[in-house]
Every structure is written in structure tokens, then in C-alpha cells.
Structure 1
């Protein structure tokens, strides 16, 4: 799929315009916030956001952002903290090439490095949902909703994780 060596890099003055210009397929636009909103949220949430550009060669092909150690539902469990995948946008021109899997793997590797044992993701249900993508990576649905989004979890201690992601 990917013939070169993609990498995740911090957001910088040099790549922010390319990130803000990223567009998904028109039928996916209702499923993910624009990158500019994600960058504003990353700024507002400071240490709990981990935004990265997905770069291949000199080209920005996507954006991924993790959430780190946030209180998930303070009304139910004020001490319950979670980390996971907050946003993923791969340019319409680069979808289906493995960049999404690469970006998710990068987030999971970072979460593991930080000692996280479970990764969470939320997504909108309905037509064009990324649910099959996340379930195909090994995430499993929970009974929870986050607003109108479904919640899925992945056990990072699972020895089969690298095989399931089919990246090695």
C-alpha cells in the first residue's frame, strides 16, 4: 500500500496551512470536524491533546490527534481517565493507501509509550461511518455513547495487536 516512509510530525508554522487545507471526500465531511477546529481544540486543551501531521515525503497527507488522560465522564466517574484517538483525517486523494492505519498505529504507539493500557475512539454512526475501519483494527464497541457518537475500545496489552493492525 504505502510505498514510501510516512511519519507523524508535530504541527508547525511550516505545515499548518497544508493541514488546514486537508479535505476528505464530500460524503465524509459530516463525520469529522475540519482540521482547523481540531487545531483550535488542541490549543484550548493544551497538555491533553496530541496533534500530528501525517506526512509522506514533503506532502501532508493527513491529520491525527490523540486525547491524553482526560476525565471521560465526570458526572459518573470523576476519577475515570481515558486516552485515545480524538480525530483522524486522511486527504481524499490519499485514502485507501494505508495512511489511516499508519496514523492510528502512531497514536497507539504513543499511548503505549505513556503507559496507557486501553485506547478509546468515538465515531458517528450512519452512512460512511468509519466504524468498519476501527473494528477492523481490533477496536470493540462498548455500550457507551459520547454525545451522539458510538464509543469503541482497544486493549493495548493484547499480544495480537501488531498482527491485527497488519502493519509489520
Structure 2
């Protein structure tokens, strides 16, 4: 029996944008994350920093992620450029199967490829929010808030320089 396909990322195209916009999280999570269509509109407005991708398992669309790279975090500190996970939407019937972990790993790998040493994300506080998910993956709250959301940071492993 051949191994099960690994999840993979695909860019948004004219052939998959409708399916992307139709992707829905569970109804009880809708207040926690923006719909994919809004994320794609934001990616259109900030094309230099947004990195939208669809998550597929084989041919099945299972989720959406959007990374951000090198955005000024605070107006009073223009040198504080950050990268990380902007949005994560896993389809309602596909949650709990590792796709969220895959998405965070994909963002971390892309950030490391771009020379970053840390990635950030935000989450809605509260018992019904995704805080436990992000903490299990190694994110630590920074003590900051962004738009009322908790800011978390994940340190990336140092690049392997091959020196041994």
C-alpha cells in the first residue's frame, strides 16, 4: 500500500480561488478568525508582505494559511520588523488531523529560509480560542496585544551551518 500523501501548499490561482473562499471553519470558531475572502483582499492590498497559501491533502482542500514577512510592528520602532502567521483557517471537518501543525511548520520553514530567527502570531484570548494549540507548538506570549489579541512568539532553530 502506498504511503498516504503528505499535506502540501499551493498558491491561490484562478482555478482554486472559489474553493478557497468557500472554505469554512466550525461555526463556533467564526468569531475567532476572518474568512478566507477577507484574507485574500488583505493579501491583495499588501502583496509585498502577505504570503497566502492553500493547504491540500492530496487533492482535497483542507485549509488556508497566510504568512507575513518583515512588516514594521510598531510605528514608534520602525526597525522592529516581524514575520509570522497572519491567518489560519482549517476546514470544519478536517480539524484535529495535524493540518494546523503542518501550517505552522510551513510558516516557520519559509521564515527560516528568509533568514528569520523568530515567528509571531496572534490569537483571540479566551477558553474557546486557539491559545492551547499555539502554546503546544511552542509559542510563548510576549506580553503584547495587537488589536486585543494575544501576541505569541516562536523561536526558530539556529540554521545548520554545516560546521562539525
- Structure 2 length-normalised TM: 0.92
* Matched residue, 2:27: 26
Q: Is the 8 A contact 1:15 1:60 kept in 2?
A: no
For the residues of structure 2 that align with 1:133 and 1:84, how far apart are their CA atoms? 16
Do residues 68 (structure 1) and 36 (structure 2) align?
no
Moved more, 150-159 or 38-47: 150-159
Figure out how many residues of one structure are paired with residues of the other and give that number. 157
Provide, for residues 3-52 of structure 1, a one-character-per-residue CA deviation record: whole Å limited to 9, x for no partner.
43110111111111111011111110000000000000001001100000
- Structure 1 length-normalised TM: 0.90
* Matched residue, 1:8: 9
What runs of 5+ residues in structure 1 fail to find an aligned partner?
A: 160-168
For the residues of structure 1 that align with 2:15 and 2:137, how far apart are their CA atoms? 32
Task: Say which SS state the counterpart of residue 46 (structure 1) adopts.
Answer: coil
Which structure is larger by alpha-carbon Rg, 1 or 2? Answer: 2
* Matched residue, 2:133: 133
Provide, for residues 51-84 of structure 1, a one-character-per-residue CA deviation record: whole Å limited to 9, x for no partner.
0000111111100000100000113x12210000
Structure 1 moving runs of 4+ over 6 Å: none
* Matched residue, 1:105: 105
For the residues of structure 1 that align with 2:134 and 2:84, how far apart are their CA atoms? 12
The offset of 1:127, in angstroms, is: 3.2
Root-mean-square deviation (Å): 1.4
Q: Is the 8 A contact 2:63 2:90 kept in 1?
A: yes
Task: Say which SS state the counterpart of residue 19 (structure 1) adopts.
Answer: helix
For the residues of structure 2 that align with 1:55 and 1:155, how far apart are their CA atoms? 26
For the residues of structure 2 that align with 1:151 and 1:24, how far apart are their CA atoms? 22
Q: Is the 8 A contact 2:88 2:100 kept in 1?
A: yes
* Matched residue, 2:55: 54
* Matched residue, 1:145: 145
For the residues of structure 1 that align with 2:126 and 2:78, how far apart are their CA atoms? 31
For the residues of structure 2 that align with 1:22 and 1:141, how far apart are their CA atoms? 29
How has the CA–CA distance of structure 1 residues 158 and 133 changed in structure 2, closer, same or farther, with 3 Å as cutoff?
farther
